[in-house]
Amino acid sequence: MTNGNEKNRIGYRYLFDSKGCSLSSREEAKINLIVSEKYDVQIYFGPKPQHGIQSESNCSKYFIPGEPASFGTVEFKKNADQSSKYGPFFLEIVVSTEANEIVSDNGAIRDLLLKQSEGRRGEFKNIINLVAGIIGLRFHRQFILELIGENVLAWEGEVPAFEYAGTALEILERLPLNDNGIKHLEVIGKKLKTLPYEDMQEYSLIFHWLLRAWHERDILYNFIDLFIPLECVLNMLSNAKISIEDKHKAKTIRASIRKHTGENSKDLLHFFNKLFERLRPTLEEAFIELAQTAKFPGWENDIEAFRNFKRMRNDLFHGRSKDVQHKLSISNKKESREFSDLVERYVNYFFFKDNKVYRSRWRPEIREKDNNENN
């Protein structure tokens, strides 16, 4: 049996290709910092990052069943100057800390250290983000312009071990479009012909963000890009709840405030606008009404899921947390909701007033509520 000791360390690394950057008076620079009294941070500027460089080539982003996929080539170069793809100047940031004590029956301490480091990935990335952000803000964004590698690290003694993860491969579906689909698009096209230009602009913005979400592979950015089109829809529904008469009255009041209140007009307008906004339903109220109108199977659970997704979004935007989940278990634990499915179903309903959003093997099944569940 082997015992881990305090010399064992775990950590994480970011490697940036600092395009156009250099040092004015030397080839390289190394800086050691301590963050929060427990994290050692090593910062390296120069052409020879100490943990080498990995590069991928000819890697597919997608796999379509029945078609060949290229898993490409992953190369590791101990010396970065051997890479023709990146460089010649890099920023490498490594964070490390003492590992928790490990006991192993087979002596595989290094594998256990790597696993421990992987489990603390988010913690380590927070430290690196802090340091890299300061460098980008105070020096220049080009120093951290392109992240080309990140690794979990483990030190059993002096020599580090690391793991490298390549590009994720998304499994797609084979999707033949039939004649009915072509005819359906032609029917939609007839409605688009008479669509007012102002409506076209508003609707286009919704689809702009939906397109971004479909292209985005980063979990956090995908969550943000998905929330925006749903929020656009809910805001449009909220605006529609304010009558034309009330909007006209508000316009008249604003004009009167500007004309008669002098130097206080700006503050009074701000106060009036806050009061007027209270006439609008909140995002949650707008979604509840939308769900009650659509009455999709499991719409009550859709409301509960939306509340949780909205809480994540608020925590994210107000700096309380950057953790998001794309799949949630509902409180009764009998169902779950995926955020992309929720957004697509309700955006589709807003435009087409049905539940005929595209079908996919990846879309979760939502069952009709059993009458016995109400008893």
Shared domain check, 199 and 79? no
Shared domain check, 92 and 208? no
Shared domain check, 363 and 316? yes
Q: 285 pLDDT exceeds 90?
A: yes
Q: 335 pLDDT exceeds 80?
A: yes
Shared domain check, 347 and 200? yes
128-132, 276-280, 312-316, 361-365: range with lowest mean pLDDT: 276-280
Do the domain assignments include residue 271? no
Do the domain assignments include residue 134? yes
Chosen domain end from 140, 170, 200: 170
Per-residue confidence band for 61, with pLDDT thresholds at 50, 70 and 90: confident
pLDDT digits (tens, 9 = 90+) for 23-44: 999 999 999 999 999 999 999 9
Percent of the chain with pLDDT over 90: 55
Ordered DSSP codes for 136-196: HHHT-GGGGSEEEEEEEEEESSSSEEEE------EE-------HHHHHHHHHHHHHHHT--
Q: 130 pLDDT exceeds 50?
A: yes
**Predicted TM-score of the model (pTM):** 0.76
Position 21 scores a pLDDT of 94
Position 372 scores a pLDDT of 44
Shared domain check, 185 and 144? no
Do the domain assignments include residue 25? yes
Per the structure, the count of domains in the chain is 2
Range of 22's domain? 2-170
Per-residue confidence band for 374, with pLDDT thresholds at 50, 70 and 90: very low
Asked if 12 and 124 touch (Cβ cutoff 8 Å), the reply is: yes
Q: 358 pLDDT exceeds 80?
A: yes
Shared domain check, 161 and 14? yes
Q: What integer is the mean pLDDT of 114-130?
A: 93
Both tokens assigned to 178: 């039939």
Do the domain assignments include residue 253? no
Shared domain check, 15 and 68? yes
Question: Whole-angstrom Cα distance, residue 131 to residue 34?
Answer: 11
Q: What integer is the mean pLDDT of 202-225?
A: 94
Shared domain check, 154 and 130? yes
Q: 238 pLDDT exceeds 80?
A: yes
Question: Whole-angstrom Cα distance, residue 161 to residue 64?
Answer: 34
